[in-house]
């Protein structure tokens, strides 16, 4: 029984790619040329303390149409929010004294939506010249201990812009490399990352190497330059998989070594290693490992790899998931599809191929969530991704579930989030119509049981300019 040291893990990471130095040189040139002139426009009239942290209290929405998602719809129902949690839901629920009552006539009440495919807070502006505001990707290929939690900017303008559309929770993930790091599950409210966090280390993100090369990191760019033969690509892929495998085995060994040492004081205590230690819950299948893969062969390979390593896999991306729906069902692997609105890959694919991915997974009984796959700016469009899937065969209640309860369960937060059930975190959205419709307006928003003003950078600029003559 042996385990790697911290140093060897990183030595391996550094020796991984021969062209690392060239990449670093390129990056620094690009960075130097990019003009960083980002000036945040944050503070203004409506953005007071409630904008940042909400208003805690006891609330009741009375006489509304309630969609608990976990159970049948409730006509003329009441929901009570107290101490940050859902205290009661149903018909004839009594309203506690002192509660602020919202008359719910004409309102539909839903759990807040959840997007598992974002990098919220890690990046403000995606292209052209704001490199001082990008924290999505660490250097090197194996960064299991890079945690989104420490990079999230709670005051990103995207946070409020997203939540006022009814998306209240996101999984924010690092990107790049083979093992990108660990995602944080955060509510979109709070003055600090700890205030936002539901789970600081919610998932491990793996860019499982693509068959044919071009997997994580900058591989795509350099693959074009190098034009490796198919055999080379297969070899490279095997090498990359082996690197991930070895890292995970080391972590497993590390965990067992500590278990043994804890059980028997006579045994030597292993050196502490923060990288391997952070991986232990994942190699023991206690927390999900998110594999970013799209293509059929890669989905199969990732699932087999996860089973070999006894991980708890989630497939993210999954444009080809419909092709392997029965395989996914058979292996009981959940999927987060980010490509509902992607163009089909091949010219002769059916025009609605990607729209239909979700309904095919539903028909096969696969557990799945729908995500925008967007870093931040367009996460507010999550309901319309689900709506498009529903236009092409997914039952409407399944579409709603795919952006609420399913993502909560997939990321291991099903007991806390995703439905309107007593005891769950009170992330509650009251709208004047169907939550997934583009014409619907959100009227009331609660996150962590706190009422959140429906204000964002966008409403502020709207108010500033709408009456200019």
Partner 1 sequence: MRKMFALLVALTTLAASLAGASAQTQPQPRRGNQRRGAPPTKPESGTPSAADSASAAGAAGDVLIRNATILTASHGTLAGSDILIRRGKIAAVGASLRAGSDVRVIDATGKYVTPGIIDCHSHSALDAINEGTLSVTSMVRTRDALNPNDINVYRALAGGVTAQNSLHGSANTIGGQNVVMKMKYGRPAAEWLFGAPPGIKFALGENVKRSNNQNFIIVGQPQPPRRYPTTRMGQEEVLRDAFTRARNYKRDWDEYRAAQTRGERNAVPPRRDLQLEPLVEVLEGKRFVHAHSYRGDEILMLLNVAEEFGFRVKTLQHVLEGYKVAPEIARHGAGASSFADSWAYKLEAYDSIPYSSAIMTRAGVLVSINSDSSERARRLNIDAAKMMKYGGLTEQEALRLVTLNPAIQLGIDARTGSIDVGKDADIVIWNGHPFSVYSRVDQTYIEGELFFDREQDIKNRAALQREREELEKAEPNQAPSAGTPAGAPRPNRRPGGHDDEDTDGGHDNR
> Segment near partner 1 (CB under 8 A), from 37-45, 112-120, 136-144, 267-275?
37-45
Beta strand pairing call for 85-90 and 74-82: antiparallel
Does 441 bind partner 1 (CB under 8 A)? Our answer is: yes
Nearer to partner 1, 3 or 158 (CB): 158
Asked if 444 and 320 touch (Cβ cutoff 8 Å), the reply is no
The piece of 86-94, 238-246, 369-377, 414-422 that touches partner 1 (CB under 8 A) is 369-377
Residue 2 or 466 having the CB closest to partner 1: 466
* Chosen residue from 5, 16, 20, 26 binding partner 1 by CB under 8 A: 26
Query: Per this entry, what is the length of the chain?
Result: 469
- How far is 421 from 426, CA to CA, in rounded Å? 9
- In whole angstroms, give the CA distance from residue 318 to residue 54: 36
Among residue numbers 276 through 315, which ones bind partner 1 (CB under 8 A)?
Answer: 294-295, 297
Between 308 and 347, how does the x/- string for binding to partner 1 read (CB under 8 A)?
A: -----------x-------------------x-xxxxxxx
By CB under 8 A, residue 124 contacts partner 1: yes
Are residues 1 and 254 in contact, defined by beta-carbon separation less than 8 angstroms?
no
Indicate the residue among 264 and 347 with the shorter CB distance to partner 1.
347
Q: Which stretch binds partner 1 (CB under 8 A): 167-175, 259-267, 306-314, 379-387?
A: 379-387
User: Which residue spans within 288-374 are E strands per DSSP?
Assistant: 288-293, 312-317, 335-337, 368-370
Rounded Cα gap, residues 148 and 193, in angstroms: 10
Region from 48-56, 119-127, 169-177, 413-421 binding partner 1, contact rule CB under 8 A = 119-127
Structure tokens at 206: 């793996």
Please provide the DSSP assignment of 237-257 as one string.
HHHHHHHHHHHHHHHHHHHHH
Among 112, 121, 177, 214, binds partner 1 (CB under 8 A): 214
In the region spanning residues 64 to 103, those forming contacts with partner 1, defined by CB under 8 A, are none
Q: Smaller CB distance to partner 1: residue 88 or 130?
A: 130
Q: Which of 376, 382, 410, 425 binds partner 1 (CB under 8 A)?
A: 376
- Pull the structure tokens for residue 142: 């194996």
Q: Which of positions 393-412 make contact with partner 1 (CB under 8 A)?
A: 396
Question: Can residue 33 be called a binding residue for partner 1 (CB under 8 A)?
Answer: yes
Q: Measure Cα distances from 465 to 157, 360, 372 in Å.
A: 18, 46, 30
Interaction of residue 458 with partner 1, rule CB under 8 A: yes
Per-residue contact string for residues 216-235; x = within reach of partner 1 by CB under 8 A: ----x--------xxx--x-
How many C-beta atoms lie closer than 10 Å to residue 128's C-beta?
8
Tokens of 104: 């719910």
- Which range in 8-16, 242-250, 415-423, 431-439 contacts partner 1 by CB under 8 A? 431-439
CB 276 within 8 A of CB 254: yes
Q: Using CA atoms, how far apart are residues 178 and 52, in angstroms rounded to an integer?
A: 35
Of the pair 73, 259, the CB lying nearest partner 1 is at 73
Q: In the range 150-179, which residues lie near partner 1 by CB under 8 A?
A: 157-158
Concatenate the DSSP letters of all residues of 4-40 into one string: --HHHHHHHHHHS-TTHHHHHHHHHHHHHHS------
């Amino acid at each position: 029984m042996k385990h790697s040291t911290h140093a060897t893990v990183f030595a391996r990471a550094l020796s991984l790619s021969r062209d690392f130095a060239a990449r670093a040189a390129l990056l620094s040139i690009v960075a130097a040329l990019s003009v960083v002139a980002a000036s945040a426009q944050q503070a203004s009239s409506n953005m007071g303390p409630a904008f940042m942290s909400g208003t805690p209290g006891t609330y009741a929405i009375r006489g509304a149409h309630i969609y608990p998602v976990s159970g049948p719809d409730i006509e003329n129902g009441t929901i009570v929010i107290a101490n940050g949690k859902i205290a009661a839901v149903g018909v004839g629920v009594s309203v506690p004294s002192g509660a602020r009552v919202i008359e719910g006539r004409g309102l539909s009440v839903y759990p807040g939506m959840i997007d598992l495919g974002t990098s919220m807070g890690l990046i403000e502006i995606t292209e052209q010249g704001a490199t001082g505001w990008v924290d999505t990707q660490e250097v090197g290929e194996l960064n299991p201990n890079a945690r989104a939690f420490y990079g999230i900017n709670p005051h990103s303008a995207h946070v409020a812009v997203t939540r006022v559309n009814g998306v209240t929770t996101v999984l924010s993930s690092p990107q790049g490399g083979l093992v990108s790091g660990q995602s944080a599950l955060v509510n979109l409210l709070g003055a600090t990352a700890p205030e936002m966090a539901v789970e600081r280390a919610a998932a491990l993100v793996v860019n499982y190497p693509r068959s044919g090369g071009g997997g994580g990191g900058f591989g795509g760019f350099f693959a074009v330059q190098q034009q490796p033969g198919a055999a080379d690509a297969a070899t490279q892929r095997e090498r990359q998989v082996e690197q991930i495998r070895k890292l995970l085995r080391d972590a497993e060994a590390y965990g067992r070594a500590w278990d043994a040492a804890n059980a028997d004081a006579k045994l030597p205590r292993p050196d502490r290693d923060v990288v391997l230690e952070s991986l232990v819950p994942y190699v023991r299948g206690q927390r999900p490992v998110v594999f970013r893969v799209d293509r059929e062969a890669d989905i199969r390979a990732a699932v087999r790899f996860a089973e070999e390593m006894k991980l708890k896999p989630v497939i993210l991306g999954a444009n080809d998931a419909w092709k392997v729906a029965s395989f996914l069902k058979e292996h009981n692997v959940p999927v987060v599809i980010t490509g509902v609105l992607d163009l089909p890959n091949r010219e002769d694919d059916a025009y609605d191929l990607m729209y239909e991915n979700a309904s095919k997974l539903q028909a096969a009984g696969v557990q799945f969530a729908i995500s925008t796959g967007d870093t931040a700016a367009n996460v507010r469009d999550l309901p319309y991704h689900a709506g498009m899937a529903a236009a092409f065969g997914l039952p409407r209640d399944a579409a709603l579930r795919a952006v609420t309860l399913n993502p909560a369960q997939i990321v291991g937060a099903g007991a806390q989030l995703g439905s309107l059930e007593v005891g769950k975190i009170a992330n509650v959205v009251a709208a004047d119509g169907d939550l997934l419709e583009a014409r619907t307006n959100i009227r009331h928003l609660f996150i962590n049981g706190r009422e959140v003003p429906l204000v964002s950078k966008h409403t502020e600029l709207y108010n500033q300019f709408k009456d200019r003559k």
